[in-house]
């Protein structure tokens, strides 16, 4: 069953809402799978108000909330040009983050956010859309494969002192 959502652009003035949603969804998804010290080292840098505000103010990054009853229940972060963590092609978009509250998962909210990103990339005449997903995150890998993303490489990602591997997946649009 699909739950209808509204997708809204996240503005710098929404930083506190974004910070709280980003922290909650990331902790719920990954805290129990990581060494506590490494996890804390990563989150204390990645999820600060200053860092998110700088990302919101960067014209090459865009955040969108999935909203139900005026409450954000998920979000997606899209990177253009040099803000992409790999490739940095001008005719590509990276989905750097896509997160839905644990209590709202499995209702196609993530699917609607991903469709929104894909439609946007098509309208902007992008050649491909891509993302990195943790090698142990099989749920998300299945979710992307169902949306026709295919594996195209890997890159490393540090969570504190723990070097992790992300599988890179892309969807060709032309």
Cα dihedral 42, 46, 47, 48 sign: positive
Check 42, 75, 80, 144 and give the catalytic one: 144
CB of 99 to ligand COA, least distance (A): 4
Q: How far is the CB of 109 from ligand COA (least distance, A)?
A: 4
Which parts of the chain fold into alpha helices (H)?
Answer: 15-30, 36-46, 49-57, 109-123, 138-146
Q: How far apart are CA 98 and CA 117, in angstroms?
A: 10
Using CB under 6 A as the binding rule, the residues of this chain from 9 to 48 that contact ligand COA are: 25, 29
Residue 115-144 contact track with ligand COA, rule CB under 6 A, x = bound: ------------------x---x-xx--x-
3-state class percentages of the chain: helix first, strand second, coil last, to nearest 5: 40, 35, 25
How many residues touch ligand COA under the rule CB under 6 A: the total is 18
- Least distance (Å) from ligand COA to the CB of residue 82? 21
Is 27 noted as a catalytic residue in this protein? no
Q: Is 163 exposed, middle or buried (0-12, 13-18, 19+ CB in 10 A)?
A: exposed
Q: How many CA atoms lie within 13 A of 3 on its CB side?
A: 16
**Residue window 73-112: x/- pattern of binding to ligand COA, with contact defined by CB under 6 A:** -------------------------xxx----xxxxxxx-
In the complex, the smallest distance separating the C-beta of residue 91 from ligand COA, rounded to whole angstroms, is: 22
Residues that bind ligand COA (CB under 6 A): 25, 29, 98-100, 105-111, 133, 137, 139-140, 143, 146
Enumerate the active-site residues.
144
């Amino acid at each position: 069953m699909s739950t209808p959502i509204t997708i809204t652009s996240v503005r710098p003035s929404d930083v506190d809402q974004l910070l709280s949603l980003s922290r909650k969804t990331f902790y719920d998804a990954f805290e129990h799978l990581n060494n506590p010290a490494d996890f804390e080292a990563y989150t204390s840098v990645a999820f600060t108000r200053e860092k998110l505000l700088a990302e919101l103010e960067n014209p090459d990054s865009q955040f969108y909330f999935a909203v139900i009853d005026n409450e954000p229940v998920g979000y997606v972060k899209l990177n253009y040009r040099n803000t992409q963590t790999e490739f940095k092609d001008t005719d590509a978009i990276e989905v750097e983050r896509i997160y839905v509250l644990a209590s709202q998962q499995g209702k196609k909210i993530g699917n609607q956010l991903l469709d929104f990103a894909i439609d946007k990339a098509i309208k902007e005449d992008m050649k491909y859309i891509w993302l990195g997903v943790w090698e142990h995150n099989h749920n998300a890998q299945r979710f992307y494969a169902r949306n026709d993303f295919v594996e195209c490489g890997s890159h490393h990602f540090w969570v504190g002192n723990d070097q992790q591997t992300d599988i890179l997946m892309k969807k060709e649009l032309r």
